[in-house]
Chain A
Amino acid sequence: MKNNTRQIFSTFAGVLGVACLSLLISCAGHQQSAVDPAGPQSGRIDTLWWSFFWLLGAIFVIVMVLTLMTLGRRHRGFEQEPLEATHKPSEETDSRLRRIIAGATVTTVVILFVLIVASVGTGKANSELQNKKNPLTIQVTGNQWWWQLEYMNSDPTKILVTANEMHIPVGRPVQIRGISNDVIHSFWVPNLNGKRDLIPSHVTTQWMEADHPGVFRGQCAEFCGLQHAHMAIWVIAEPEDKFDAWMRAQLQPAAGPSTPELQRGRQVFMNNACVYCHEIQGTTAAGQNGPDLTHFGSRRGIAANTVPNTAGNLAGWILDPQSLKPGNHMATIALNSTDLQPLVEYLESLK
C-alpha cells in the first residue's frame, strides 16, 4: 500500500509537471490570444479568467489532496475502525462525515454564487460600452469563406465597402452589426472581445474597442464548411488621425492605371470572369459575390488572410485558387503569363 501511495503521489506530481511544462511552452506567441487583451472588454474578461483560474485551481488542488489522502493508512483524527463485520463505521463517524459534506456543499454554493455575480457583473460592464458616445458602426457579413465589411454612415456616399481587413480608431467604441449571407459564421477577435455568431435571417450585435494601437488577428469561430479553417480577419487599430486618413483613402475610387502595363492589367481584369464577382469602384466591374477589390493592394492578406498579400502569392492564387483553398467559390480562370503578370501588378497597385 505504501508503495502504491508513493507511486500515486509521484504520478500526480508528474502530471502537474506536464501541465506546467505546457503552460511554459505556451508563453510564446500572443497573436489571437484571449489572454493578451488590447481593449477594455477583453481586459475585463482576462481579469475574470485569471480570478477563476486561481480560485478553481486552488479548489482542484484541495480536492485532489483530500482524494489522495484517502489512500494513506493513517487518517488524521480517525482511528481505523473495525468495519469487517458490519461494513459501516460508528454513528459518530458517519454523522461527522455528513456534517463535513454539508459544510463543503455550502462552501461550494457560496463560491459558485460569487462566480455567478462576478460573471454577470463583467458581462454587464462589458455591455456598457454601447452607452458611450460616437460609436463607429461596421456591418460584418459572413460569407463562405470571407468577411465583407461595410462602414455604415448616414451619408450613403460615405459608406465604405471592403473585405477581410478592418481598421478601427483607438479609443472609440465600435459596433459590429453581424449578418450572414449563407451559413452560420462567428466573428471573433480575441484580443478585443468575445465572439458573436453571424446567423442568416438574424442581425447580431457586438461591441469592441481597442485601447492601444496594434494589429489583431481574428478567425471565424463557427464551423461554416470546407474552408472554415481559412477565414481570418485582420483588425488594425490606429490613432484617430491615421484612421481618418485611411478612411479617406479607402473611400476614393480605384487608382487609375498609370502605366501601360497597369492598363493592360486592368483590361485583363475587365475582359475576364473576374467582373462577375468582384467590384472595383471607379470601373465598370461591379460584381457582388466576392470581396470588393477597390483597394486590394493596401491589404495584408489574400483569400481571407490565408496567405500574405505578395505578388507571388497573388499570382498563385489567381492561377489556381483551388490549390490554396480547395472548395472555395472562386472560379479558376485560364490565364497565360502575359496576362497574369500585368493583372497581378494592377491589383497590387490598387492601394
Chain B
Amino acid sequence: MTASQDIYPQTPNLAHDVDQLERSWRHPRGIFGWFSYTTHQAIGMRYIITAFIMLLAGGVEALLMRTQLMHANNGFLSADRYNELFTTHGTTMMFLFAVPMMEGMAIYLVPLMCGTRNVAFPRLNAFGYWIFVVGVLFLYWGVFTNAAPDMGWFAYPPLSGPQFTPGKRTDYWAQMITFTEVSALCVASELIVTISKMRAPGMSLNRMPLYVWSILTQSFMVIFAMPAIVLASSYLLSDRTVATHFVNPAEGGDPLLYQHIFWFFGHPEVYIIFIPALGFVSAIVVAHARREIVGYTAMVLSQIANGFIAFGLWVHHMFATDLPQIGAAYFTASSMMIAITSGVQIFCWIATLWSGRPRLTTALHFVYGFIAIFVLGGLSGVVLASIPLDLQVHDTFFVVAHFHYVLIGGAVFPLFGAFYHWFPKMTGRMMNERLGRLNFWVLFIGFNLTFFPMHILGLKGMPRRVYTYSPEMGWDQLNFLATVGAWVIAVGGLLFIANVLWSRKKGAIAGNNPWDADSLEWAAASPPPNYNFEYLPAVTSRYPLWVPGADRTFVTGTRSDRREVLVTTLMDAEPHHRYILPGPSIWPLVAGICVSIGFVGSVFNAWYVTWGAIISGLALIAWFWPKRPLEPADE
C-alpha cells in the first residue's frame, strides 16, 4: 500500500513509520465510525457525490421544462408546476450542485497539491458537509411535499414576500440558503487557512499551483460575498415569519435594496463557481500539453483581479430598473473590462497548448470544448454589458443562453475534464478514453443544439420564465431544437455515469502518475491513503514532480503515531511549527443536527432560534471539551 519506493527516501524507519501512519490515520469502524470521518478525501468525495446527484436532479428538472416548451401551448405541465421547476432547477444548480461540487473537489485536491495530510480544521470540514446535506434534504422535502419554491431562484420581493407567496415554499428556500452558505463559509475558511499555513516547505506563493491559487481567490470571494446572501435571505425570511419590514414597500422597504444585496452576492457567486474551473483548466493544460504554463504571473494576477472586479459588476443585473445613467455606465465599463482578465488567461492557455506537446486525452477535449463554449458565452456577456442592448435582451432567452454558455462551458466542461483527469488519482483506475471522447462529443453537440438557438429566441422577443407561448410568435422550431438538444445532453450524462461505473471495475490500473503530471498529488498513491504521503514533500520548483527524483526533498521529524502536519509561513513556506490534527469525531454530526434543528425549526416558530442556539452551544462545548492527553507527548 505504499507509494512507489523509487521516489521516497529509503530511511531505515520507513516500514515502521508507514505502519504507525496507517494506525493513526485509520478510519473508525461501523456506522457510527462512518459518521465520524474527518479525512479530507472522504469528505471531499461525499461532497462530490452529493453534488453530482444534485446535478442529475437539476438535469431532470431541466428536461421537464424543455419538454413543456417543446411546442406552443403545450399542456405537459401546469403553470404552477413549471414555475416550481424553473425555480428548483436554478436553485439546485447554483446552490446545491455548482458551489458544493467545486468545494468538494477543492477539499479533495488542495491538501494533496499542497503536500499536506488534511485540511486545517478537519472537524469543521465534516460539520460543513452535514449542514450541506441537511440543506439538500430540507429543500427537497419541500419539493416532494408540494411546497417547492416557485418565485425564481433569486426570489425577488414583493413576489416572494408574505403577501404574494403565502405558505412555506419561500421559507424553505430561504433557509436552505442559510444551510448552504454556512457550509460554504466553513469550507472557504478552512481552505484559506490550509493554503496559507500548511503548504509544503519551499512552496512559496509563487510556486503554488494555479489551481491552488484559484481556490484561494475563490475562498476569499466566498467570505466576502456570502454574508450578502445571508442578509438578503434573512430579510425575506424575517419579513415572512416575524413581520419585519425590510423589503415591504408599504413601510419603506425597497424591493430594489433586496436586488442590490442579492446581486452583490449573486454576481461574485458565478465567479465563485467559475474561478476554480479555471484552476482545473490550468492543471489539465499543464499536464496534458506537457509544458509549464506560459505567463504564470499574469495568470495569477488575472485570477486575483477577476476576483476583485467581480465584486464591482452587480448592477448589470439591474439595468432595467431605471438607474442614473452615469452610475450605470460605470457598471458597463467594469462588466466589459472583466473580459480582459478572463481573456488573458485564455491567451495564456492557447499559447501553452501551441508551444507544448498536447496529448489529446478526454480531459484535454473538455478543455478545448471549454474554450469554444466559454468564449462564446463571454462574448454574449459583452453584449449584455452594453446597456442599450441589455435593455432589449435582459430577462429573455438570450440571457438564458449566455449564462448557460458561461456556466456550462466555463465550469461544467472543465469539471468533466477534471473528472477524467483526476479519476485515476481518486480511484486508482483510468477511465475509458474511447467512451470518454464519445461522452465529450455528445455533450458538446447536445449543449450547442440546446442553447445556441436560445440567443435567437431572445432577440425574437421570447421572455424567460414563461411556461408557454402562443404559436403566432414563431418560436416553435427553435424551441423544439433546444428540447432535442436537452435530451442529447441527457444521453451525454448517462454516458459519463456508464464510464464511471465501468472504469471503477474494469479500468486500467493507474499507478501514481499516469499522466506524468507535475503537481504533488501525483506523488501520492492512487487512491491516496488517508495520510496522503508517507513523508511530507518539500519543493524547490513550481512543478515539483518534473524535478528529477534525485533532487527531491522530504520532511522528516513529524510524528507518525498521531495525526500531525507541518505549519509553514505564508509567503515563503518555511517550516514554522508542528500541528496536531484531531482524529475522527462524532461531534460535527451532533453539532450539525443541533444547528439544523435551530434553522429548520425557526421557519415554523421563531423560538427555535433560541432552542437551537442552546443545544448547538452544548454540542460545541462537547466538541471542544479537552481530551486526554492534555499535554501532547514530546519528542
Q: A: which residues have CB within 8 A of B? A: 1, 4, 8, 11-12, 14-15, 18-19, 22-23, 25-26, 28-35, 42, 44-45, 48-49, 52, 56, 59-60, 63-64, 66-71, 75, 78, 80-81, 83-84, 86-89, 93-94, 97-98, 100-101, 104-105, 108-109, 112, 115-116, 118-120, 122-124, 126-127, 144, 178, 182-184, 186, 188, 190, 193-197, 199-202, 204-206, 217, 219-229, 326-327
- The reply to whether B350 and A67 form a contact with Cβ atoms under 8 Å apart is yes
B572 interface residue per 8 A CB criterion: no
- The reply to whether A126 and B388 form a contact with Cβ atoms under 8 Å apart is yes
- The reply to whether B343 and A196 form a contact with Cβ atoms under 8 Å apart is no
With contact pairs A221-B463, A225-B159 given, residues A18 and B469 touching in the complex (Cβ less than 8 Å): no
User: Could you show 7 A-B contacts with beta carbons less than 8 Å apart?
Assistant: A15-B448, A29-B460, A32-B461, A60-B375, A109-B340, A120-B329, A182-B164
- The reply to whether B256 and A199 form a contact with Cβ atoms under 8 Å apart is yes
B348 interface residue per 8 A CB criterion: yes
User: B83: nearest residue on chain A (CB-CB)?
Assistant: A226
Residue interface mask B427-454, A partner, CB < 8 A = 1: 0000000000000010011001100110
- The reply to whether B80 and A327 form a contact with Cβ atoms under 8 Å apart is yes
Residue interface mask B507-527, A partner, CB < 8 A = 1: 000000000001000000000
With contact pairs A112-B339, A202-B256, A227-B79 given, residues A52 and B383 touching in the complex (Cβ less than 8 Å): yes
With contact pairs A34-B393, A105-B343, A229-B468 given, residues A219 and B461 touching in the complex (Cβ less than 8 Å): yes
- The reply to whether A199 and B255 form a contact with Cβ atoms under 8 Å apart is yes
Q: Tell me which residues across on chain A come within 8 A of B394, comparing CB atoms.
A: 194-195, 221
- The reply to whether A98 and B355 form a contact with Cβ atoms under 8 Å apart is no
Q: B: which residues have CB within 8 A of A? A: 78-80, 83, 151-152, 156, 158-159, 164, 249-250, 254-256, 290-292, 294-295, 298, 320-322, 325, 329, 332-333, 336-337, 339-340, 343-344, 346-348, 350-351, 353-358, 360, 368, 371-372, 375-376, 379, 382-383, 385-396, 441, 444-445, 448-449, 452-453, 456, 458-461, 463-469, 472-474, 477-478, 481, 518, 543, 546
Q: Tell me which residues across on chain B come within 8 A of A193, comparing CB atoms.
A: 391
Cβ-defined partner of A52 (8 Å) among B355, B389, B441: B389
With contact pairs A67-B371, A220-B463 given, residues A59 and B379 touching in the complex (Cβ less than 8 Å): yes
With contact pairs A33-B461, A98-B294 given, residues A70 and B353 touching in the complex (Cβ less than 8 Å): yes
With contact pairs A52-B383, A183-B159 given, residues A199 and B292 touching in the complex (Cβ less than 8 Å): no
Most buried by A among B458, B467, B472, B474: B474
Q: Tell me which residues across on chain A come within 8 A of B473, comparing CB atoms.
A: 29, 31-32
User: B298: nearest residue on chain A (CB-CB)?
Assistant: A101
A126 CB, min distance to chain B CBs, angstroms? 6
What is the bound-complex CA distance between A205 and B321, given in angstroms?
Answer: 9
What is the bound-complex CA distance between A19 and B295, given in angstroms?
Answer: 34
User: B347: nearest residue on chain A (CB-CB)?
Assistant: A101
Q: Tell me which residues across on chain A come within 8 A of B356, comparing CB atoms.
A: 83
B174 CB, min distance to chain A CBs, angstroms? 17
- The reply to whether B351 and A101 form a contact with Cβ atoms under 8 Å apart is yes
User: A120: nearest residue on chain B (CB-CB)?
Assistant: B329
A327 CB, min distance to chain B CBs, angstroms? 6
B293 CB, min distance to chain A CBs, angstroms? 9
- The reply to whether B459 and A35 form a contact with Cβ atoms under 8 Å apart is yes
User: B367: nearest residue on chain A (CB-CB)?
Assistant: A67
With contact pairs A18-B449, A101-B294 given, residues A45 and B322 touching in the complex (Cβ less than 8 Å): no
Cβ-defined partner of B358 (8 Å) among A30, A70, A98: A70
- The reply to whether B375 and A49 form a contact with Cβ atoms under 8 Å apart is no
Most buried by B among A34, A98, A204: A34
Q: Tell me which residues across on chain B come within 8 A of A35, comparing CB atoms.
A: 459-460
B109 CB, min distance to chain A CBs, angstroms? 21
B359 CB, min distance to chain A CBs, angstroms? 9
User: B161: nearest residue on chain A (CB-CB)?
Assistant: A183
Q: Which 6 A-B pairs have the closest CB atoms?
A: A194-B391, A29-B474, A32-B461, A229-B466, A119-B386, A201-B249
Cβ-defined partner of B368 (8 Å) among A44, A67, A83, A190: A67
What is the bound-complex CA distance between A211 and B332, given in angstroms?
Answer: 29
What is the bound-complex CA distance between A188 and B256, given in angstroms?
Answer: 19
- The reply to whether A228 and B466 form a contact with Cβ atoms under 8 Å apart is yes
With contact pairs A56-B382, A123-B329, A190-B461 given, residues A222 and B387 touching in the complex (Cβ less than 8 Å): no
What is the bound-complex CA distance between A18 and B477, given in angstroms?
Answer: 13
B138 CB, min distance to chain A CBs, angstroms? 23
What is the bound-complex CA distance between A274 and B454, given in angstroms?
Answer: 41
- The reply to whether A60 and B376 form a contact with Cβ atoms under 8 Å apart is yes
What is the bound-complex CA distance between A205 and B322, given in angstroms?
Answer: 7
What is the bound-complex CA distance between A32 and B329, given in angstroms?
Answer: 27
- The reply to whether B463 and A88 form a contact with Cβ atoms under 8 Å apart is no
Q: Tell me which residues across on chain B come within 8 A of A44, comparing CB atoms.
A: 388
User: B468: nearest residue on chain A (CB-CB)?
Assistant: A229
Most buried by A among B151, B343, B348, B391: B391
- The reply to whether B388 and A123 form a contact with Cβ atoms under 8 Å apart is yes
User: A100: nearest residue on chain B (CB-CB)?
Assistant: B351
- The reply to whether A25 and B332 form a contact with Cβ atoms under 8 Å apart is no
B175 CB, min distance to chain A CBs, angstroms? 22
A53 CB, min distance to chain B CBs, angstroms? 8
Cβ-defined partner of B164 (8 Å) among A197, A202, A225, A227: A225
What is the bound-complex CA distance between A84 and B516, given in angstroms?
Answer: 11
- The reply to whether A116 and B354 form a contact with Cβ atoms under 8 Å apart is no
Can you name 7 extra interface pairs (CB under 8 A) apart from A98-B298, A219-B463? A15-B444, A19-B448, A48-B388, A101-B347, A112-B340, A194-B388, A223-B464
User: A191: nearest residue on chain B (CB-CB)?
Assistant: B461
Cβ-defined partner of B322 (8 Å) among A15, A104, A112, A197: A197
Q: Tell me which residues across on chain B come within 8 A of A60, comparing CB atoms.
A: 375-376, 379
Q: Tell me which residues across on chain A come within 8 A of B449, comparing CB atoms.
A: 18
Q: Tell me which residues across on chain B come within 8 A of A196, comparing CB atoms.
A: 320, 322, 391
Cβ-defined partner of A194 (8 Å) among B255, B290, B392: B392
A227 CB, min distance to chain B CBs, angstroms? 6
- The reply to whether B382 and A115 form a contact with Cβ atoms under 8 Å apart is yes
With contact pairs A60-B379, A202-B322 given, residues A26 and B460 touching in the complex (Cβ less than 8 Å): yes
User: A103: nearest residue on chain B (CB-CB)?
Assistant: B347
User: B463: nearest residue on chain A (CB-CB)?
Assistant: A221
